Structure 1
Amino acid sequence: MDSYDVVVIGGGPAGYVAAIRAAQLGLKTACVDAFERGGKASLGGTCLNVGCIPSKAMLDSSEKFEMISHEAQEHGIEVTGASVNLEKMLARKAGVVDKLTGGIAYLFKKNKVTSFFGLGKLVRQEEGGWVVDAAGTEVLAKNVIVATGSSPRALPLAPFGGHIVENSGALAFDAVPGKLGVIGAGVIGLELGSVWRRLGAQVTVLEALPGFLMAADAAIGKEALKQFQKQGLEFHFGVNISAVTQDDAGVSVTYTEKDQEVTATFDKLIVSIGRVPHTAGLGAEAVGLGLDARGFVQVDSHYRTNLPGIYAIGDVIGGAMLAHKAEEEGVAVAEMLAGQAGHVNYDVIPWVIYTSPEIAWAGLTEQGAKDKGLTVKTGQFPFSANGRALGHGDPRGFVKVVADADTDRLLGVHMIGPNVSELIGEIVALMEFGASSEDLARTVHAHPTLSEVVKEAALAADKRALHM
């Protein structure tokens, strides 16, 4: 039986990063992963194969079509007869995914990580570690890292199949739906709804919660809803779905909104109501691995489970289900196993929604800070007063800074506008070092750039914005 210092079960962002980092630190490492795409092994998990990467590829392609079809004239560019070759668009998306998943296989080879394709299962504890069934081959692991990820949560009334799909199915329609229903106004629902709306679908979003983007700052949520409705997305909040039926023609959804029962029909229905931990086939019950009431693997602050030598990271332990959060946990646990002090600062994990306009934030919302008993000051500055945004032709949105009124420490920064997925990185770096709004305001930002809006918002927190 081959033995390893570390066996990682799962090859998504948490798992493959943990495996690479462990190998870099001199630990003999193997990774077991069962994900396949197109009948072939494909590392990278949901994120690279059917989530983050392909959705962004489709978002970019559909945004280019929208720009050419509806926005180019503003720039003096006359385009007629633009059309979508969906087959080619999907093939481009697949090519991007192939390149990145193949890159992980290369990195495994480069770092001497042994890769097993198939299910990984905890079998038993023996002297020297844990026996793991690695795709049918038993190996001995001194340490095991469980990184099995998550799966889409199904609506009991609407099991996946036929015209009812989750994120992966929503990225592979063979034609643009005439009418598209989306259950869930979260990140996935908004991004996928945006893709097909740009390509010509009539999109209706049904949300059980009474408000929009309630995890974001209230000002951001209000502006985002206004922008999405302007684009033609239709939203219904506080709905209670009572029946979902489908036939060859499509899907019917019956729901109650403001005490009125409504039945809507769609060609396709995307269900995006969250994700659940994926532990099927792991052997958790057989070995006594601790799971909570919702099925997440229970860990302490060092990612240790209740079983010695077994750790868990990523979506399977809950918290923010974000690829970058999972990656950082992978690095942290690998460094801990090598005797280093791995750490993840959960207070400054960035959140991004890749719609148009983009939405991004890090840290506390204004209300969240007040709920903690903090006295806050805020500054806000619009992209409409920024030269680069105006030249780019997209002056929508703003940046909002939330700082402690007593210490001036940055508590959170919230953005909606062009390329804010890139602008949020500056905020994360500053907050990691405990920066103040004055630090941000005094930092020189190149002109003309979108980043000047971030600086101006910080200046506005002390009522001294220069360009408004």
Structure 2
Amino acid sequence: MKLVVIGGGPGGYVAAIRAAQLGADVTLVEKEALGGTCLNVGCIPTKVLLHSSELLEEIRGGEEIGIKIDGKVTVDWKGIQNRKSNVVNKLVSGVKGLLAVNKVKVIKGTAKFKAKDTVLITKQDGSSEKIKFDNAIIASGSVPFIPPIEGSKLPGVIDSTGALSLENNPKSLVIIGGGVIGVEFASIFNPLGCKVTIIEMLPYILPPVDREISELTKTKLVSEGIDMYNNCKVTKIEESKDGLKVLFTGDNGELSVEAEKVLVAVGRRSNIVNLEAEKNDIKTERGFILVNDKMETNVRGIYAIGDCTGKNMLAHVASDQGVVAAENIMGKNKKMDYKTVPACVYTKPEIASVGLTEEQAKEKGIDYKIGKFPLAANGKSLIMGENGGIIKFITDKKYDEVLGVHIFGPRATDLITEAALAIRLEATVEEIVSTVHAHPTIGEAMREAALAVNKEAIHMVNR
């Protein structure tokens, strides 16, 4: 069985490896570096920069934990960038090795459909090759979306990819967009001494996040010196003597702010323009490829996964979709279940959530209960100096089934897996509570939050 995978990101390369494990003859087409956006200009490089920023904050606060530092602490921007490149290169090399071991043929180039069983690959050297396939998986990913703002093409206006490879640490930065991308970049640059301003069109930041958690995050960011403008619409970007000026309107009328750089971080769009998918009857909607829960398109034998489907634009979702697609191609019967997909935001402290938010529970008319435990009452959080967070459980009132968990605190992105498993297994509060949690850990606060659902928390006053 011949399989062509278009795109070598976290969806594509995982699908290619899984299909090869099951006996498929796999060709993977990737026009740039293996690993896609996530590994090269997304998840991994941003987390490298975030780690450096977080470490700098901890060093500056050393005296609070009994560590005195003599001498000046400075930022080596080139050193940070070099480390980012080293981490990325090591991981890309690892992906390349895994594909080779699994005998996946990798072609550097771009692909477009010439028929429902044929792709034309244009290679980096300009030559082309037609490949017939039995099945194909489209994993072409996404690219940053730049809205039609006047002045958005001026020098100094950058997208998330450009923000990762700046030659110098900017003195000031305006971020248009208060979503996950915007907030994470604010958390990178603010500790490094850059004056950061966020402009968001909605009345709150981090739209997908439980509102209570997003408000706690906003308060924390503002307390750290980040200027925040909500309910504001950017109307124009223009040059100024200090760099760029962003003009916007809001509740207080017309406003403006100047900065050295402007980062546009309002989202991403699918990357399918050059595939000629629609010419070969592959259905799309609003620029995304339509798929069912088996990751099948409407054309028999052609599947699509990852950001190009618009289902849930997260790397770990793309990887799971890749496995589902590969296994269905190889004769299994698998379906995607999005109920237990965790979402993570790498602020300090971190944010992680899975399942229903409180707003979603209300919209669905669910009779629910809430249990909350403040991390100020957790020993490990106090030790780590990150005690302003919270763990929040949302449960069904009748059966105490866990419907959603939301964490704002240290290790949140690691802890969320317990919550995802609980929802996957339709666990109740009692099953969380009766599971022994180690001490001293942040994780034991999960048990306390579950206990708080029925006002039985041990290490706080129940109200």
- Asked if TM exceeds 0.5, the reply is yes
Contact 2:293–2:336, Cα closer than 8 Å, also in 1 = no
Instruction: Determine if the alignment matches structure 1 residue 422 to structure 2 residue 410.
Output: no
Structure 1: tracts of 5 or more residues without a match: 36-41
Partner Cα distance (2:276, 2:208) in 1: 34
**Which position in structure 2 is the counterpart of 1:39?**
none
- Which of 172, 175, 180 in structure 2 is aligned with 1:179? 172
Instruction: Determine if the alignment matches structure 1 residue 116 to structure 2 residue 116.
Output: no
- Partner secondary structure for residue 68 of structure 1: helix
Contact 1:130–1:143, Cα closer than 8 Å, also in 2 = no
1:132 to 1:142, Cα distance in 2 relative to 1, 3 A: farther
Amino acid at match of 1:109: A
**Which position in structure 2 is the counterpart of 1:325?**
317
Matches within 5 A, 1:443-458: 443-458=435-450
Matches within 5 A, 1:102-181: 102-125=93-116, 129-133=117-121, 135=123, 136-157=128-149, 158-160=151-153, 162-181=155-174
Over residues 406-428 of structure 1, what are the superposed CA-to-partner deviations in whole Å (9 max), with x where a residue is unaligned? 01110000000111010001111
Q: Which is further off, 273-282 or 294-303?
A: 294-303
**Which position in structure 2 is the counterpart of 1:205?**
198
Structure 2: tracts of 5 or more residues without a match: none
Contact 1:182–1:272, Cα closer than 8 Å, also in 2 = yes
Instruction: Determine if the alignment matches structure 1 residue 75 to structure 2 residue 65.
Output: yes
**Structure 1 residue 259: deviation in Å?**
4.5
Instruction: Determine if the alignment matches structure 1 residue 98 to structure 2 residue 89.
Output: yes
Instruction: Determine if the alignment matches structure 1 residue 334 to structure 2 residue 326.
Output: yes
Give the length in aligned residue pairs: 454
Contact 2:340–2:355, Cα closer than 8 Å, also in 1 = yes
Matches within 5 A, 1:3-82: 5-35=2-32, 42-69=33-60, 71-79=61-69, 80-82=71-73
**Which position in structure 2 is the counterpart of 1:463?**
455
**Structure 1 residue 139: deviation in Å?**
1.1
Contact 1:130–1:144, Cα closer than 8 Å, also in 2 = no
Partner Cα distance (1:336, 1:426) in 2: 28
Over residues 338-377 of structure 1, what are the superposed CA-to-partner deviations in whole Å (9 max), with x where a residue is unaligned? 1112232201100000010100000001221122121101
**Which position in structure 2 is the counterpart of 1:379?**
371
1:18 to 1:338, Cα distance in 2 relative to 1, 3 A: same
Contact 1:132–1:141, Cα closer than 8 Å, also in 2 = no
1:32 to 1:161, Cα distance in 2 relative to 1, 3 A: farther
Partner Cα distance (1:408, 1:234) in 2: 40
**Structure 1 residue 456: deviation in Å?**
0.2
Partner Cα distance (1:164, 1:122) in 2: 34
Partner Cα distance (1:62, 1:132) in 2: 44
Contact 1:55–1:171, Cα closer than 8 Å, also in 2 = yes
Instruction: Determine if the alignment matches structure 1 residue 88 to structure 2 residue 79.
Output: yes
**Structure 1 residue 189: deviation in Å?**
0.4
**Which position in structure 1 is the counterpart of 2:270?**
277
Amino acid at match of 1:214: P
1:228 to 1:304, Cα distance in 2 relative to 1, 3 A: same
**Structure 1 residue 66: deviation in Å?**
1.4
Instruction: Determine if the alignment matches structure 1 residue 439 to structure 2 residue 431.
Output: yes
- Which of 203, 222, 227 in structure 2 is aligned with 1:229? 222
- Partner secondary structure for residue 362 of structure 2: helix
Q: Which is further off, 371-380 or 52-61?
A: 371-380
**Structure 1 residue 160: deviation in Å?**
4.7
Contact 1:43–1:105, Cα closer than 8 Å, also in 2 = yes
Over residues 71-126 of structure 1, what are the superposed CA-to-partner deviations in whole Å (9 max), with x where a residue is unaligned? 1111111113000111011000000000011111101101000000010111123x
**Which position in structure 1 is the counterpart of 2:336?**
344
**Which position in structure 1 is the counterpart of 2:397?**
405
Partner Cα distance (1:132, 1:332) in 2: 25
Partner Cα distance (1:173, 1:451) in 2: 37
**Structure 1 residue 213: deviation in Å?**
2.3
**Structure 1 residue 247: deviation in Å?**
6.1
Amino acid at match of 1:263: S
Q: Which is further off, 218-227 or 406-415?
A: 218-227
- Partner secondary structure for residue 77 of structure 1: coil
**Structure 1 residue 264: deviation in Å?**
1.3
Partner Cα distance (2:362, 2:246) in 1: 39
Amino acid at match of 1:5: K
Amino acid at match of 1:52: C
Normalised by the size of structure 1, how large is the TM-score? Answer: 0.95
Normalised by the size of structure 2, how large is the TM-score? Answer: 0.96
Q: Which is further off, 256-265 or 230-239?
A: 256-265
**Structure 1 residue 161: deviation in Å?**
5.6
Amino acid at match of 1:115: V
Partner Cα distance (1:131, 1:443) in 2: 52
**Structure 1 residue 177: deviation in Å?**
1.4
Amino acid at match of 1:420: A
**Which position in structure 2 is the counterpart of 1:362?**
354
- Partner secondary structure for residue 322 of structure 2: helix
Over residues 126-159 of structure 1, what are the superposed CA-to-partner deviations in whole Å (9 max), with x where a residue is unaligned? xxx3344363221111001001001100021143
Partner Cα distance (1:359, 1:141) in 2: 42
Partner Cα distance (2:413, 2:12) in 1: 24
Over residues 375-416 of structure 1, what are the superposed CA-to-partner deviations in whole Å (9 max), with x where a residue is unaligned? 101100011111111112221201000000001110000000
Partner Cα distance (2:365, 2:385) in 1: 40
Amino acid at match of 1:255: F
Partner Cα distance (1:244, 1:97) in 2: 33
Q: Which is further off, 237-246 or 395-404?
A: 237-246
